[in-house]
Structure 1
């Protein structure tokens, strides 16, 4: 999905998330939830009539060699994990043409006791986050009963991580891109921002032109079906987080008869346009900042004052100051408004990051930008040596293929700023201008907003968190409503995604589904 600069769930963010244990209830509206989601169907869903149609149930003859290949497992760099590679057609419209992609696969075998239930595939989202890296986290932190019965497995999607990664910029060029002012104040700053997006797109085309037309979510979902077959499972069992919910829902739409037990946590709404995603996500971060401010201002050491209103004002003043005069941040680097805003927003992903944000804001108030820059660097996957992982490059490549761009150019953004700021007074302008990411992309999009119904699929669990900043709760309500067999699990809390994050109620409900196939009628709520 096309997020601005785009915000996504990283494996690191998920690993650090630690929500408090809470009680469990059922069939009641959660406090603090998006009331619009309860009071009326999501407007965008009603407006989208096109539905993702399933593929033929029989494997086409030209694809059979891919489904019949053998995985050759070997030890990875740590003995308990096994690695292999698999082939998939670069272009599913021309399989067997000799143009394939090589995808990296990894797994950790079920630990027992109990009867093995097959493979549980995982994906942490992004798009662009390495599913294999997340699998290694999940294989030691998912609830023990699930790890005992399932092999935890993953494939890095095409263009991601170890699977022929998309490349775009040098480390120095990426530093310049991430620092570009995304709230331009005059014609010169607007021109500079447009140039930054054009140079990013040009770099991707120069270094990854072979892959760019073939890294969409539909292709990755079809790759996942090949892997399901190679692992020996008749149906797919899967836990997807954030964008991983869109990948999982797409799989269900294409292969409803092969759906086993799917958990879609931190759900995307496939009916939304890129602009709607950017705007409503801005509102999600606005709500998350309010929750952070409420927590911060109740503490004696809060660097933002003693009321939510004052906290917002002080943050606004800080960001305006960074726009006028960037702060020194160590190593010859400086913290401007764009990097400072990213640092703040990145900490909204998990309540456990709020303490780090308070410390970073206190440093910034004293004239030191290093704390906020560290949060921004973690978000952008920047290493201490100045090199970047491939996460952001793959993120843009997938997003720009999956949906038409949110805006075609600066004039469209200027008309959109007002609605964005109405949804998010504090961050709306930032999100509006950041939605230019795909305006200058060298490859035409192949996807569009559409409903995913997956008629005939087994029950699918959709998890939504009421104050999730990156995937607003209403998106989960919408996806669960679209899916013919959707079952909504609501977590009344903060942070991005909920399963295996420490809430006993959520984990118990999901575990029963994964292990026994037990699901509830209607809605289930954990608070």
Structure 2
């Protein structure tokens, strides 16, 4: 049962004193009052609306998108055999809507459809692989009954993947930002990062001009609504993983009448500012690293009995003697990014451990390959860093002075030795970026259908506490917890995946507070 039902309580008005008899100049504006046995009875105040019922699943609509086959291309991107289901791709056109020209301009977004059936939108973080690839990867993890009923839809968010590119950061500055020493807390050293960020910001302003501030979550929510219309359905059913959970809640605020069966699988904390979110991310990453280290010790992995110490030694030694990669030395920032990417998927932790062990011996080939998409083109897809920087800075009004970032780096590195300074450094990225005109809305829409909100105990990108805060903030949020590790629980936890499948297929809402073992 959604927690809003437990929050609602009838507020009783205080008893009013009986007024003496007399004449009045007009009709009374006071509420109607009933009397019983000489006691005045005042009706209770109206209760806030409860959650709406689970919307009907509906049927596939009359689509207007021009789909073309992309099954072989998608299989090659995923590195798997071609799936049995049809896979199609299309271009979605929506309104760009930049601040300087509201409701004008055109945005183009790449869309993928995996299978046939009722549309189910699968969204992922703007930082990482394109949304179409992530959605196809998720489709392969969903149970057969879900794949038979739904067409899994993915979209490359504004400025990412095959959508209108937001590539604007000069290659040399992209390399500096992505490779910057993740252990640095020195203000003079941080100035080097600041110089690259300054140059990147200036170049992006020149290159993208009025389009620059149109790449954000607020406007991407409108893209989702346009996609719903083009798919020909009354309600949008969706799963949002990680930072995309914020995109879904923004959508629920802007288009509440279009909300279908939605699931949030990890999300940023809506109660914290940018610095607070960065702190929670550092904490989440450290906790996941602890799980990786324990797994390493149990498997006797090549990093030795203390993987955490081995990682710190590797990052420290790479500051002066970086491992060799195919195209030159691999800086410590790339090693930290490879670690973060690897921690997302526990099934690949043995591969991560071997790659880091190779780097410790001077061979950075695995690290270079794993992080190449961050700074280089992958086929037709632009580098990931640009979209991460642009959307991230457009989504927050907070601007942290460089001196404050240095203080936070020193403070957080003492608490979070591997990821603390790195998280503080990323606050520098937006310091010179034009601030948006208004912050993203706080989730507060009443009368929505139940929305399961899944918190993973050890999620490298989404702190469990932050996700729980979102579940509490949503009037119709249904908190669910997975005691496991990895970025997102759907498709990883059999227990969570089964509960989500029943919700999507049958409208069965998970029990509030449900806990699935790791």
Please indicate, yes or no, whether the TM-score normalized by the shorter chain is above 0.5.
yes
Show the counterpart of 2:314. Answer: 318
- TM-score (structure 1 length as normaliser): 0.77
Q: Secondary structure at the match of 1:489?
A: strand
Residue 340 of structure 2: which of 342, 345, 364 is its match? 345
Show the counterpart of 2:404. Answer: 412
**Contact 1:71 / 1:85 at 8 angstroms: preserved in 2?**
no
**Contact 1:258 / 1:457 at 8 angstroms: preserved in 2?**
no
How many Å separate the matches in 2 of 1:388 and 1:227? 21
Show the counterpart of 1:436. Answer: 428
**Contact 2:178 / 2:375 at 8 angstroms: preserved in 1?**
no
**Contact 1:127 / 1:398 at 8 angstroms: preserved in 2?**
no
Show the counterpart of 1:41. Answer: none
Residue 388 of structure 2: which of 371, 395, 401 is its match? 395
Matched, 1:486 2:456: no
The 10-residue stretch of structure 1 (154-163 or 253-262) with the greater mean CA deviation from structure 2:
154-163
Which deviations, in whole Å up to 9, do the C-alpha atoms of 1:61-120 show, x marking residues without a partner?
A: xxxxxxxx982423233382333333322217798965222333332442xxxxx5x311
CA 1:457 to 1:358, structure 2 compared with 1: closer, same or farther past 3 Å? same
The 10-residue stretch of structure 1 (145-154 or 473-482) with the greater mean CA deviation from structure 2:
145-154
Which deviations, in whole Å up to 9, do the C-alpha atoms of 1:135-157 show, x marking residues without a partner?
A: 33334432221121122223332
**Contact 2:136 / 2:154 at 8 angstroms: preserved in 1?**
no
Give 1:21-420 correspondences, 5 Å limit.
Answer: 71-78=64-71, 80-91=86-97, 99-110=105-116, 116=117, 118-127=118-127, 129-171=129-171, 173-184=173-184, 186=186, 188-304=188-304, 306=305, 310-331=306-327, 333-377=328-372, 380=374, 382=376, 389-405=382-398, 407-409=400-402, 411-420=403-412
Q: Secondary structure at the match of 1:437?
A: helix
> 1:255: how far off?
2.1
How many Å separate the matches in 1 of 2:138 and 2:511? 28
> 1:416: how far off?
1.6
CA 1:71 to 1:162, structure 2 compared with 1: closer, same or farther past 3 Å? farther
**Contact 1:491 / 1:526 at 8 angstroms: preserved in 2?**
yes
CA 1:276 to 1:185, structure 2 compared with 1: closer, same or farther past 3 Å? closer
> 1:495: how far off?
0.8
Paired residue total: 444
CA 1:384 to 1:105, structure 2 compared with 1: closer, same or farther past 3 Å? closer
CA 1:505 to 1:217, structure 2 compared with 1: closer, same or farther past 3 Å? same
For the aligned residue pairs, the C-alpha RMSD in angstroms reads 2.7
- TM-score (structure 2 length as normaliser): 0.79
**Contact 2:239 / 2:265 at 8 angstroms: preserved in 1?**
yes
How many Å separate the matches in 1 of 2:232 and 2:378? 41
Greater Rg by CA = 2
Q: Secondary structure at the match of 1:238?
A: strand
> 1:452: how far off?
0.4
CA 1:475 to 1:358, structure 2 compared with 1: closer, same or farther past 3 Å? same
> 1:384: how far off?
7.9
Where does the alignment leave 5 or more consecutive residues of structure 2 unmatched?
2-61, 73-85
> 1:126: how far off?
2.0
**Contact 2:165 / 2:382 at 8 angstroms: preserved in 1?**
no
Which deviations, in whole Å up to 9, do the C-alpha atoms of 1:155-197 show, x marking residues without a partner?
A: 3322222221201135455334322334446555233111111
Which deviations, in whole Å up to 9, do the C-alpha atoms of 1:479-513 show, x marking residues without a partner?
A: 11111111112111011101022x22111100000
The 10-residue stretch of structure 1 (84-93 or 255-264) with the greater mean CA deviation from structure 2:
84-93
CA 1:72 to 1:344, structure 2 compared with 1: closer, same or farther past 3 Å? closer
Which deviations, in whole Å up to 9, do the C-alpha atoms of 1:413-448 show, x marking residues without a partner?
A: 12223442354133212221232111122x322443
Q: Secondary structure at the match of 1:465?
A: strand
**Contact 1:222 / 1:251 at 8 angstroms: preserved in 2?**
yes
CA 1:99 to 1:70, structure 2 compared with 1: closer, same or farther past 3 Å? farther
**Contact 2:322 / 2:332 at 8 angstroms: preserved in 1?**
yes
Show the counterpart of 1:452. Answer: 443
CA 1:144 to 1:365, structure 2 compared with 1: closer, same or farther past 3 Å? same
Show the counterpart of 1:469. Answer: 460
Q: Secondary structure at the match of 2:417?
A: coil
CA 1:185 to 1:402, structure 2 compared with 1: closer, same or farther past 3 Å? closer
Where does the alignment leave 5 or more consecutive residues of structure 1 unmatched?
1-25, 27-68, 111-115
How many Å separate the matches in 1 of 2:366 and 2:133? 25
> 1:269: how far off?
1.9
**Contact 1:348 / 1:469 at 8 angstroms: preserved in 2?**
yes
Which deviations, in whole Å up to 9, do the C-alpha atoms of 1:227-251 show, x marking residues without a partner?
A: 2122121111001111111111111
CA 1:301 to 1:82, structure 2 compared with 1: closer, same or farther past 3 Å? closer
**Contact 1:165 / 1:390 at 8 angstroms: preserved in 2?**
no
CA 1:388 to 1:83, structure 2 compared with 1: closer, same or farther past 3 Å? closer
